[in-house]
Amino acid sequence: MPPTDFVPRPYTGPSYQQVEQMKGVYMPPSITNAYKKPVLLTQGHMQWLYDNDGKRYLDLFGGIVTVSVGHCHPKVNAALKDQLDVLWHTTNLYRHPKIYEYVEQLAAKLPGDLNVVYLVNSGSEANELATLLAKAYTGNLDIISLQTSYHGYTSSLMGLTATQSYRMAIPVPPGFYHAVHPDPFRGAFGGCRDSISQAPGSCSCTGECISTDKYVHQLNELLGNSVPAGRVAAFFAESIQGAGGVVQFPKGYLKKAQELIKKNGGLYVADEVQTGFGRTGDHFWGFETHGVKPDIVTMAKGIGNGFPLAAVVTTKEIAANHAKAAYFNTFGGNPMASTVGKAVLEVIEEEGLQQNSKVVGEYFIRQLMDLQKQHPVIGDVRGQGLMIGVELVEPGTKTPLTTSKVNDIHENIKDNGVLIARGGRFNNVFRIKPPMCITKQDYQSKVLRCEPTKEPIVDYGKTSLFEGFQITLENTILFPAGGGQPHDIGWLNDVEVLQVLRKGDEALHFTREPIDVGIEVKQKVNWNRRFDHMQQHSGQHLLSAILEKHHSLPTTSWWLGADESYVEIDSTKVSEQQINATENYCNELIRAAVPVSVKICKSNDPDLNEAHTRGLPKDCMETIRIICIGDIDENMCCGTHVSNLSQLQIIKIIGAEPGKKGKTNLKFLVGERVTKTFQRMLEREKALTGLLKNEPTKHEELVQKLQKNIKTTNKNLQNVLIELAEFEVNKIKGSTPKPKYVFMFKREATPEFNRAVLKGLEGEGMFVLLVSEDPDRAKEGQIIIQGPEEHCKALGDMITEMLKAKGAFKNGRFQGKASDLGAVNKCKKLVEDYFNKLT
């Protein structure tokens, strides 16, 4: 998660368990939980949300596309606080300035004569009012919406909303009809849409899509069969379907549908509850993308950034017919609501949030398209700006992914600290609609410096020489080495980053190529390596905590290696029983999916005493980062960690070794490393099985047998060699005339054999030279010289030089190691010549 300076307040409300219990008692059962383990959100700041444990979430849903400019946006907050002290409420039967200032600004955002503004309290209320306006104006009663649409949840709107999951088994009011869903991914006629991402295998028409006429034909069939001729009141459509799963219609559909409806006497109502206020990036309103101008526009959600506020905007002419009866709205557009609405409009303008939605949304969609290539479970990626949908399917089909699988992925994303929503007819579409203040600055950064460097690269303790560049960025997502965790590797655009080092409060990125100073670069981290480090590092926190708490075995340091890691324990011994108990308990906690969260404290925070800080460094920053594993452990740390122990998968202690004086190193593996190591062991075992031609359970027995056999064989060989030596000695002694010298080169001779020969020839007055070869090293071996001193003196130096031998004379015998037996024949000749000359 990218860093933020924001520090949430400590939470002091009812506990998670208390809230859980209260929900069961007081909340209607129709309000379901979004997650198996629901989140209790207690504070928000811009795109961030915090739960009761202080865990931070990236909010990619904005409370159902409602938080448009950011949670507790300072400008909106300030405006509301100011208004709170002036006037809360009158009624719009009177006049108050805020509502007038606001409606003027809002109307200015709409095209043409759309400038009569009704302020109400919710989207449902807005759509209900719109049905009334359309009926009053046209005098017609029938209203058409699209299949899979959502327009509200009041009993009179249940017919307008065309999604089965909202339908109760009671009749809906008459006069609602649902046209065929013009869905490029699931619809019968396919189609292409206004997005950088198209449905797989779709057409790519320039201008209007060829499928549009087919869907419009279906709408015409509905009008021709179910509605009195030319007597339709309105056609309602979201500009991009929201709850329906971010469905965009084929290009040109809304335009043609509006023309057809108009011909049949009806109005076109654009439901901009989710798509309005700049979210789609290219335009302020979603309908503008379709090149249409509605007769009525309804809006809610993002209009108030979470404050209850909604609106219906129409023309003076349409609104005029509504004046035939009395109308008022108690809360709609009261001073507080109007103040918030005005501040939200101004923030969108001042902070360029529409443009930001376009830039970040496009980036986001492209990243999702990359994911789609790697993961066939992603059937479709679609959307515009920050209105994004990801439809999950059974890989290789269009069959919606089973709910339980979608649930698991959804839960996992939440556990990783990201909140997204679900939608679509099959509840298999992830909806990503974050506050529009979300930035990509967290991944994009500016190059501040680029300098040549010759500092070496150190990876898992191995140093290699390096010559290249060190790059400083405005901010980085790449983790520099620290806290026992090795550095990340990754890319800046396409340039590889081989090492990241912390220097003071800066991170240096080592690359082979230079990068121009001042340009923006896209950062990418090698995620496999990072996640592996997160697993080992979080595993270390867990191991150290349990060893200390349950066994009084404190950790003094730790090491994360390329294959194995270890914790250094302040004890000379760790028993087998302690190891097993620790491993079992750690794995139990992993299976219990204990959350891991980050708590930020000020350095003078009294809470800090709880944390196991091991002494703060002298240059300690003002804020301290504490990693909490449930209520099991708190530890000050700057590294990267998993957000739930379940992500460790498994922990395995693979051995205890004596470490530095008085310490023991406990070697361990976490997650993927366990399977990788197991795989290597399996391969070794397979190789051994091939060699031993026996099943693995018999290996030990067989090897023991082989070792015993070798021992017996060696013993027998020994005896044979000694007999052979005696035989050789007797042969020499028995020959006439008795030889003056013996030259014996037996490659396979053992020390025992040589000893026996020398002993047998001792005192015979013969010069003896024995040469044998080392069985493991060709051309190397042993030489032994024994005999009368005069001969030894005359020949000794020449022989040792020839055979490149090292050794010493001792008790009238030279014993040494020869390193070049290649000259052994020359040596034999030398000895022969020497003794021939003597005679």
As a dihedral over the C-alpha atoms of residue 69, residue 71, residue 73, residue 76, rounded to 10 degrees, the angle is 80
Nearer to Zn ion, 485 or 772 (CB): 485
* Residue 661 falls in which region: left (phi positive, over 0), alpha (psi -120 to 50) or beta: beta
Q: If binding is defined by CB under 5 A, does position 205 make contact with Zn ion?
A: yes
Nearer to Zn ion, 115 or 557 (CB): 557
Query: C-beta of 211: minimal distance to Zn ion in Å?
Result: 6
- In which element (H, E) is residue 83 found? helix 74-84
Interacting span for Zn ion (CB under 5 A) from 87-95, 266-274, 517-525, 632-640: 632-640
Radius of gyration of the chain (CA): 41
Figure out which of the listed residues 144, 179, 209, 216 binds Zn ion, where binding follows CB under 5 A. 209
Figure out which of the listed residues 244, 639, 760, 787 binds Zn ion, where binding follows CB under 5 A. 639
Nearer to Zn ion, 423 or 539 (CB): 539
Q: If binding is defined by CB under 5 A, does position 486 make contact with Zn ion?
A: no
Burial of 680 (0-12, 13-18, 19+ CB in 10 A): exposed
Binding mask 106-125 for Zn ion (x = CB under 5 A): --------------------
Nearer to Zn ion, 205 or 498 (CB): 205
Query: C-beta of 417: minimal distance to Zn ion in Å?
Result: 16
Query: C-beta of 416: minimal distance to Zn ion in Å?
Result: 17
Place of tokens 């209320």: 125
Interacting span for Zn ion (CB under 5 A) from 206-214, 513-521, 526-534, 754-762: 206-214
Nearer to Zn ion, 203 or 369 (CB): 203
Nearer to Zn ion, 8 or 184 (CB): 184
Positions in 591-610 near Zn ion (CB under 5 A)? none
Nearer to Zn ion, 543 or 783 (CB): 543
Q: If binding is defined by CB under 5 A, does position 160 make contact with Zn ion?
A: no
Positions in 66-95 near Zn ion (CB under 5 A)? none
Nearer to Zn ion, 83 or 212 (CB): 212
Place of tokens 């021992």: 711
Nearer to Zn ion, 192 or 761 (CB): 192
Burial of 198 (0-12, 13-18, 19+ CB in 10 A): buried
Which residue type occupies 363?
Y
Figure out which of the listed residues 99, 637, 651, 803 binds Zn ion, where binding follows CB under 5 A. 637
Place of tokens 């064989």: 713
Cβ–Cβ < 8 Å for 268, 292: yes
Query: C-beta of 533: minimal distance to Zn ion in Å?
Result: 10
Query: C-beta of 626: minimal distance to Zn ion in Å?
Result: 10
Tell me how far apart the alpha carbons of residues 750 and 721 are, in angstroms, rounded to a whole number. Answer: 8
Q: How many angstroms separate the Cα of 572 from the Cα of each of 37, 185, 550, 559, 665? A: 43, 65, 17, 18, 9
Positions in 171-200 near Zn ion (CB under 5 A)? 192
Positions in 667-726 near Zn ion (CB under 5 A)? none
Nearer to Zn ion, 240 or 637 (CB): 637
Cβ–Cβ < 8 Å for 104, 341: no
- Paired sense of beta strands 267-271 and 296-299, if any: parallel
Q: If binding is defined by CB under 5 A, does position 203 make contact with Zn ion?
A: yes
Q: How many angstroms separate the Cα of 451 from the Cα of each of 444, 447, 490, 513, 724? A: 20, 11, 19, 11, 75
Q: How many angstroms separate the Cα of 291 from the Cα of each of 211, 283, 625, 782? A: 18, 11, 51, 97
Query: C-beta of 22: minimal distance to Zn ion in Å?
Result: 35
Query: C-beta of 6: minimal distance to Zn ion in Å?
Result: 21
Nearer to Zn ion, 143 or 642 (CB): 642
Nearer to Zn ion, 106 or 586 (CB): 586
Place of tokens 């995620």: 527
Nearer to Zn ion, 7 or 205 (CB): 205
Query: C-beta of 3: minimal distance to Zn ion in Å?
Result: 15
Interacting span for Zn ion (CB under 5 A) from 208-216, 421-429, 501-509, 597-605: 208-216
Nearer to Zn ion, 190 or 335 (CB): 190
Nearest to 159 by CA among 170, 172, 146: 172
Tell me how far apart the alpha carbons of residues 651 and 673 are, in angstroms, rounded to a whole number. Answer: 9
Phi, psi of 310 (to 5 degrees): -155, 170
Query: C-beta of 484: minimal distance to Zn ion in Å?
Result: 7
CA 84 to chain centre: 43
Cβ–Cβ < 8 Å for 592, 490: no
Query: C-beta of 639: minimal distance to Zn ion in Å?
Result: 4
Interacting span for Zn ion (CB under 5 A) from 149-157, 204-212, 471-479, 510-518: 204-212
Query: C-beta of 450: minimal distance to Zn ion in Å?
Result: 31
Query: C-beta of 635: minimal distance to Zn ion in Å?
Result: 6
Nearest to 510 by CA among 530, 480, 484, 482: 480
Query: C-beta of 640: minimal distance to Zn ion in Å?
Result: 8
Q: If binding is defined by CB under 5 A, does position 521 make contact with Zn ion?
A: no
Positions in 442-461 near Zn ion (CB under 5 A)? none
- In which element (H, E) is residue 364 found? helix 353-374
| CB within 8 Å of 477: residues ≥ 6 apart | 2, 442, 443, 523, 525
Query: C-beta of 203: minimal distance to Zn ion in Å?
Result: 3
Query: C-beta of 174: minimal distance to Zn ion in Å?
Result: 36
Name beta bridge partners: 41: 51
Query: C-beta of 253: minimal distance to Zn ion in Å?
Result: 10
Positions in 299-338 near Zn ion (CB under 5 A)? none
Count of residues interacting with Zn ion (CB under 5 A): 6
Interacting span for Zn ion (CB under 5 A) from 27-35, 237-245, 618-626, 636-644: 636-644
Nearer to Zn ion, 636 or 799 (CB): 636
Q: DSSP secondary structure string, 623-664?
A: EEEEEEETTTEEEE--S---SBGGGG--EEEEEEEE-STT-E
Query: C-beta of 206: minimal distance to Zn ion in Å?
Result: 9
Interacting span for Zn ion (CB under 5 A) from 202-210, 433-441, 515-523, 792-800: 202-210
Nearer to Zn ion, 209 or 521 (CB): 209
Nearer to Zn ion, 334 or 384 (CB): 384
Binding mask 6-45 for Zn ion (x = CB under 5 A): ----------------------------------------
Interacting span for Zn ion (CB under 5 A) from 262-270, 488-496, 633-641, 748-756: 633-641
Which residue type occupies 382?
R
Nearer to Zn ion, 213 or 762 (CB): 213
Peptide bond into 200 cis (omega under 30): no
Cβ–Cβ < 8 Å for 136, 322: yes
Strands of 542-632, DSSP E: 555-560, 565-569, 596-602, 623-629
Nearest to 600 by CA among 636, 629, 553: 636
Burial of 806 (0-12, 13-18, 19+ CB in 10 A): exposed
Query: C-beta of 537: minimal distance to Zn ion in Å?
Result: 5
* Helix axis angle, 699-734 to 672-692, nearest 10°: 50
Name beta bridge partners: 629: 596, 633
Q: Which residues bind Zn ion (CB under 5 A)?
A: 192, 203, 205, 209, 637, 639
